[in-house]
Structure 1
Amino acid sequence: MKVIICGAGQVGFNIARHLANENNDVTVIDRSPELISKIRNSLDVHAIVGYASHPDLLEQAGARDADMIIAVTLFDEVNMVACQVAHSLFDVPTKIARVRAQNYLQPTWRELFSREHLPIDVIISPEIEVARAAIRRLKVPGAFDMIPFVGDRVQVVGVRLDEDCPVLDTPLRQLTELFPDLNILVAGILRADKVIVPGGDDQLLAGDNIYFVAEKNHVRRALNVFGHEEEEARRIIIVGGGNVGLFIAEQLLAENPKIQIKIIELDQERATFVAERLPKAVVLHGDALDLEIQREANVAGTETIIAVTNDDKVNILASTLAKQQGCSWAITLINNQEFGPLTASVGIDAYVEPRQTTVSGILQHMRKGRIRSLHSLAGGRAEVIEAVALDTSPLVGKPLRDIRLPAGIVVGAIVQDDQVVVPRGGTVIRPGDTVVMFTRADMIRKVEELFSVKLEYF
């Protein structure tokens, strides 16, 4: 596939890295010579210095025969114009743009991005995606991550195993014997910076971060099995009243008007605006790193703090201070990917990384075959994929024990005849079934082939 990426920042760089690793023909455009130099020195892609919306630059990048343009510069208007130029002058089939300003995305203006006006096929809004990711983590207390699939009937849940986890050192095959009516499958283990797709003889160790796949109504019991019995929060403090914090508060209050939400916002004007928008929330004007402000917000009596300012250090420190004062759970926004692995050591329970949520949203539209949805995990080292099994797929018609799936791929769940099935060795996938798979990143091409129309695979 031939792809043009406009913007060489964190998101553009990581998309380019993903696609280049999968042998796509990738060209990156950015006006920063420094960023383009970094791209050239790090990745096997073409890189051009210039303005991504200029027709001559897009032509130089190969827009006349490109399959897709992904516009993720820092400027919404540049992203939108680049897609317009790619459509009007070069007839690029698929156009994806990152749009941050919520003014463009209000339902009133939904026709703006139609083919007749600004022809953008997919809008990626990092702020909304980040807010939704934080809410998902909030709804599964005890988990550091949760991704819904198949209309939220199947959930992939990430949880850390502590020393008191009751199933440590237990071979995974024994979990089925110990809990025969528990509809889950441990699909991935993150251990010592390595992604493991486990077999039945693998054991769980203290300190492991694991991902399990489960039918939604089995998640709470599964968390208990892994040593997490936290209750869903009813009292929440949000640090940061920007677009992310405001969206989180609006969604939570819309779903449960009885929930108690307090928002700490440093900017006086913004605090006043948020207070007017959210009459059912308490808005405090002040510095979230000020202990007096935290005490005024009653962090000691709060179940969860969600820190979503634009400053990683403020988010981390505010969360840490709140935990020290007795707050039970901390969810933190981290923009610098280097900070993510350090959060657990300072008491932060879950973090949201905008780069990963944005990359996941874009990659979903890159995958071949009948892939409906995907989510990138572990810094891009693994993916969970939802796809439809075709008649020609080698997955169809045989018991899973007889299908020699490559190492690094596991079937986590199947939706069959409107029922969620967590597969065992004798499970048979049928044409039209929806399949949720966990895979290491290096096996993505194999997964795509499993769901393509071609027969040749093994």
Structure 2
Amino acid sequence: MRILILGAGDVGFHVAEQLSRENHDVVVIEQDRERAQAVQESMDALVIEGNGASLTVLERAGVAKTDLLLAVTSHDEINLMACLSAAQYKVPKRIARVSKPDYYDHTGILPPERLGVDLMINPERECALETYQLLQSAAATDFAQFEGGLVQLVGVRIKADAPVAGKRLLEIGKLAQQANALVVAISRGGKTIIPQGSTRIEAGDHAFILGEPRHLPDILPLAGYDRFNLRHVVIAGGSPEAHFLATLLEEHKIKCTIIESDRRRATELAEDLRQSLVLHGDATDLELLESEGIGSADGFVAYTGSDETNLLACLLAKNLGTRKVVSLIDRYNYIPLVTRVGVDAAVSPRMSAVNAIMRYVRRGSVLAVAALRGTRAEGIEFDVSERFPYRGRPLAEVKFPTGSLIGAIIRGQQVIIPRGTDAIHLADRVIVFALPEAVHKLEEIFA
């Protein structure tokens, strides 16, 4: 597939890198010379310097023969103009990154289709949705779902006193089987492991567990965590992400407190969010945190404009007793370090946008994709068609690519965490976890 990407910031760069690695024909348009050069040196992609809203530049990039346009610059207007132009060139699919409320709040009056857009991606909204999911469990450092939530993936850090620490997967197989769950990937010392039965779980491992939502609360205590009930969340910062998250919390009848340092913004939030308590103050002011009883909150989320402030606020809240703290991190390379310093989870609007785009972009029989943050692995959901060559054969007899693992089989509304005797049948949906080098081979098998 020929894919034209506008913008080589964090979102554009990571999407281009992923798609290039999967052997797509990738073209990147970027105005900034240094960014353009970084893309050229990092991946197999054609890079064109210029403004993505320019028809001349789009024609130079071969827009007329493009299958998919991804307009992901930091300027909404450029993204929308590029999609509108691409529609005139009959580009089949067009995605725009859009952050300003003026564009996505009035889609009833001016629908995206009129602007030539098939899908609008709002990084701040995607980030808030991911944060809300992470807050549902005290243990979760990462969260993704498949089949509309029928199957969920959570990342957890294995505690030293966890019942599973030091045990091989074969030894805990019965417990995992009872909970209908499976460890599908492990991050250890910067390395990603797609586990086998002989793989041993160690304290400090970042393990990714796949299972049904109703059973995951039963499996998480094995990692050393107690059960969790989300009743009160404190948000530091009045950013767009904070507004989205507070709205979600209000919809689910969860108490919400927002601490915002700018008086005018605090007033705006208080007027708009009638069920939330908005405080004017500094989220790193220990006296304020103590006086407001932040330590008794179930969750604390730092959404200020500074990574350093977010981390400090989270650590203060954690020290006061808040059970789950989540920090927004703009610098993607910081994310793997966050949980090592005491913060439970990190989110990034840009990477939330990347994940949303990748879920949409996948071709053929791919239904969904979830990147496992801090690892090289990802979860991919395939639809099983008549072209799948191993239908009806026990999994023990099938040799799947090295670095891949069948995590679950979905048959109707039934979730099967497979064993060697299970088989894949026509119309099943299969969730596979794999390293990048195995993804293309898997797509060939399932396509």
Question: TM-score range, shorter-chain basis?
Answer: over 0.9
Distance 1:261 1:362 in 2: 30
Distance 1:448 1:365 in 2: 16
Aligned pair 1:252/2:253, yes or no?
no
Residue identity in the other structure for 1:237: V
CA contact (8 A) 1:12 1:72 kept: yes
1:292 aligned residue (287, 292, 297) = 287
Distance 2:198 2:57 in 1: 54
Equivalent residue number for residue 455 of structure 1: none
How many residue pairs match? The answer is: 447
C-alpha displacement at 1:180, in angstroms?
4.3
Match runs of 1:35-434 below 5 Å = 35-88=35-88, 90-106=89-105, 109=108, 111-114=110-113, 117-178=114-175, 180-256=177-253, 259-379=254-374, 381-434=376-429
Equivalent residue number for residue 24 of structure 1: 24
Q: 1:270/1:348 Cα in 2 relative to 1: closer, same or farther (>3 Å)?
A: same
C-alpha displacement at 1:108, in angstroms?
5.2
CA contact (8 A) 1:11 1:355 kept: yes
Q: 1:29/1:178 Cα in 2 relative to 1: closer, same or farther (>3 Å)?
A: closer
C-alpha displacement at 1:71, in angstroms?
0.5
Summarize deviations over 1:242-271 as a string: whole Å, max 9, x none: 211111111111112xx3211001111111
Q: 1:141/1:235 Cα in 2 relative to 1: closer, same or farther (>3 Å)?
A: same
CA contact (8 A) 1:359 1:376 kept: no
Q: 1:206/1:288 Cα in 2 relative to 1: closer, same or farther (>3 Å)?
A: same
Distance 2:295 2:373 in 1: 32
Using structure 2 for the length normalisation, give the TM-score.
Answer: 0.96
Summarize deviations over 1:418-452 as a string: whole Å, max 9, x none: 21111111111111111111111221112212221
Residue identity in the other structure for 1:99: V
Residue identity in the other structure for 1:217: R
CA contact (8 A) 2:259 2:278 kept: yes
CA contact (8 A) 2:136 2:228 kept: no
CA contact (8 A) 1:238 1:307 kept: yes
Distance 2:216 2:445 in 1: 28
Identity %: 36
Q: 1:433/1:406 Cα in 2 relative to 1: closer, same or farther (>3 Å)?
A: same
Distance 1:182 1:329 in 2: 24
Q: 1:410/1:180 Cα in 2 relative to 1: closer, same or farther (>3 Å)?
A: closer
Equivalent residue number for residue 7 of structure 2: 7
Residue identity in the other structure for 1:290: D
CA contact (8 A) 2:233 2:257 kept: yes
CA contact (8 A) 1:187 1:410 kept: yes
C-alpha displacement at 1:379, in angstroms?
4.7
Distance 1:99 1:380 in 2: 28
CA contact (8 A) 1:140 1:146 kept: no
Q: 1:303/1:418 Cα in 2 relative to 1: closer, same or farther (>3 Å)?
A: closer
Deviating runs (4+, > 3 A) in structure 1? none
Distance 1:424 1:345 in 2: 34
Distance 1:356 1:380 in 2: 14
Residue identity in the other structure for 2:433: F
Q: 1:60/1:317 Cα in 2 relative to 1: closer, same or farther (>3 Å)?
A: same
CA contact (8 A) 1:53 1:81 kept: yes
Match of 1:3, SS?
strand
Using structure 1 for the length normalisation, give the TM-score.
Answer: 0.94
Which deviates the most, 174-183 or 4-13? Answer: 174-183
Match of 2:164, SS?
coil
CA contact (8 A) 1:235 1:261 kept: yes
Distance 2:101 2:438 in 1: 36
Structure 2: runs of 5 or more not aligned: none
C-alpha displacement at 1:322, in angstroms?
1.3
Residue identity in the other structure for 1:222: I
Summarize deviations over 1:369-399 as a string: whole Å, max 9, x none: 2111111123572111122111221342111
C-alpha displacement at 1:109, in angstroms?
2.7
Q: 1:438/1:107 Cα in 2 relative to 1: closer, same or farther (>3 Å)?
A: farther
Distance 2:395 2:156 in 1: 27
CA contact (8 A) 1:411 1:437 kept: yes
CA contact (8 A) 1:190 1:208 kept: yes
Structure 1: runs of 5 or more not aligned: 453-458
Match of 1:338, SS?
helix
Distance 1:30 1:345 in 2: 35
C-alpha displacement at 1:64, in angstroms?
1.7
CA contact (8 A) 1:197 1:407 kept: no
Residue identity in the other structure for 2:82: A
Distance 2:15 2:420 in 1: 36
C-alpha displacement at 1:72, in angstroms?
0.6
CA contact (8 A) 1:356 1:380 kept: no
Match of 2:257, SS?
strand
